[in-house]
Structure 1
Amino acid sequence: MKQFIDFIPLILFFIVYKISPQAVDVLGHSFMVGGIYSATAMLIASSLVVYGVLYVRQGKLEKSQWLTLIACLVFGSLTLAFHSETFLKWKAPVVNWVFALIFAGSHFIGDRLLIQRIMGHALTLPQAVWTKLNIAWIVFFLFCGAANLYVAFTYQEFWVDFKVFGSLGMTLLFLVGQGIFLARHIHDADPSTQPSNKKRED
């Protein structure tokens, strides 16, 4: 479920983006609603609300959530300040590549791989399987970053659709694949499936 919380602001961003630009009067002030810039403002505001609520309820945010929030604030603010959507186009690639770097760094820093720290409380797996799983996450984030960058600057009319539904689809497919992978290997660490070394009594 945590993986999909990040998509709430993105979905709201998509909805506002798809609205035909129009002026809306609020308390005597006129605001433009619809299009990339009002959608960016919605992305920033909804991210602050979503992660603010999580922070109040949990008393903290995970590092990945802090990274996502900070990236949203930085790239979203630059988009509005310079009135250029180019900054927002770089948000998804940069965030994905930073995640890939963090997962890769756990191979050299710390006593456990990052995926093992995240899922180790719920699963017991052979170390070789944890390594493969961590590498899979690195490849996934590298691919997502590259895909977002390619679509954003090559198919500009579709980049917002891909940013939301393409990223969501890739995440769902990867999690399904991870589930299948774990189902094949989880028994390797189950003591009940290991051969017994106990000698049979005559």
Structure 2
Amino acid sequence: MKQFIDFIPLILFFIVYKLEPRVIELAGHSVSLGGIFSATAVLILASVVVYGALLIHQRKLEKGQWLTLAACLLFGGMTLAFHSETFLKWKAPVVNWLFALAFTASHFIGDKLLIQRMLGHAMSLPAEVWKRLNLAWIGFFLFCGFANLFVAFTFHEFWVDFKVFGSLGLTVLFLVAQGVYLSRHIHDEPASETKD
């Protein structure tokens, strides 16, 4: 459920982006709806509402949520202020690269790798497996950043579709591959035999 909540602003962005541009009356004001700029405004507003509600409900946000919100406000705000979608096109690559940087930094800072801090409460793995898993996440975020950048500036007509569905598809494929990899390293505890 938590992962779905994080996607609400992106889904609303996609819906508004795909609308035929039109002007609607809202509370006595004329508002443009449809296209990149109104979709960006909806993305910013939805992000503030969603993450604000999570902050009130949970009394905290995860670091990744703070990063996503800050990037949305910065790149979305610059897109609207300068009336250029170029800024928004840089949001996904930069966020992915910052995540890759955080996973990389955990190799040198702290006593546990970032992936181990995230999943260590749920499973116990050898140090070498945690290291390979952390490196896989670094590679994944680097790849996603470059893929988003390539599509945004090469296939302009598809970049929003890729941002929503391509990135989601890549994430699902990576998580499935990670699950297959982890399944080789996670073993059930042998059941203790009871003697009569």
Task: Check 1:140–1:5 CA distance in 2 against 1; reply closer, same or farther (3 A cut).
Answer: farther
Cα deviation, residue 18, structure 1: 0.3
Cα deviation, residue 47, structure 1: 0.6
Task: List gaps (5 residues or longer) in structure 1.
Answer: 194-202
**Residue 105 (str. 1) matches residue 105 (str. 2):** yes
Q: RMSD in angstroms over aligned alpha carbons?
A: 1.4
Please give the alpha-carbon distance, in whole angstroms, between the structure 2 residues aligned to 1:131 and 1:33: 47
Cα deviation, residue 178, structure 1: 1.0
- Check whether the contact 1:7–1:168 (CA below 8 A) recurs between aligned residues: no
* TM-score, structure 1 as length reference: 0.91
Cα deviation, residue 191, structure 1: 6.0
Cα deviation, residue 4, structure 1: 4.3
Aligned residue pairs, count: 191
The residue aligned with 1:161 is: 161
Q: Aligned with 2:57: secondary structure?
A: helix
**Residue 13 (str. 1) matches residue 13 (str. 2):** yes
Structure 1 or 2, whichever has the larger Rg, is: 1
Amino acid at match of 2:161: D
Amino acid at match of 1:31: V
The residue aligned with 1:144 is: 144
After superposition, residues 17-166 of structure 1 pair within 5 angstroms as 17-166=17-166
Question: Relative to structure 2, which stretch is displaced further, 78-87 or 6-15?
Answer: 6-15
Q: Aligned with 2:153: secondary structure?
A: helix
Amino acid at match of 1:86: T
Cα deviation, residue 3, structure 1: 4.2
Task: Check 1:4–1:173 CA distance in 2 against 1; reply closer, same or farther (3 A cut).
Answer: farther
Please give the alpha-carbon distance, in whole angstroms, between the structure 1 residues aligned to 2:32 and 2:14: 16
The residue aligned with 1:198 is: none
Q: Deviations over 1:116-158 (max 9, x none)?
A: 0010011101111100100010000000000000000000000
Please give the alpha-carbon distance, in whole angstroms, between the structure 2 residues aligned to 1:9 and 1:90: 17
Q: How many percent identity over aligned positions?
A: 72
Cα deviation, residue 28, structure 1: 2.5
Q: Aligned with 2:122: secondary structure?
A: coil
The residue aligned with 1:196 is: none
Please give the alpha-carbon distance, in whole angstroms, between the structure 2 residues aligned to 1:98 and 1:52: 22
- Check whether the contact 1:7–1:164 (CA below 8 A) recurs between aligned residues: no
Q: Deviations over 1:144-179 (max 9, x none)?
A: 000000000000000000000001101111111111
Cα deviation, residue 115, structure 1: 0.3
Please give the alpha-carbon distance, in whole angstroms, between the structure 2 residues aligned to 1:4 and 1:115: 21
Please give the alpha-carbon distance, in whole angstroms, between the structure 1 residues aligned to 2:149 and 2:176: 24
Please give the alpha-carbon distance, in whole angstroms, between the structure 1 residues aligned to 2:7 and 2:92: 12
Task: List gaps (5 residues or longer) in structure 2.
Answer: 192-196
Greater than 6 Å deviation, 4+ residue runs: none
Amino acid at match of 2:12: L
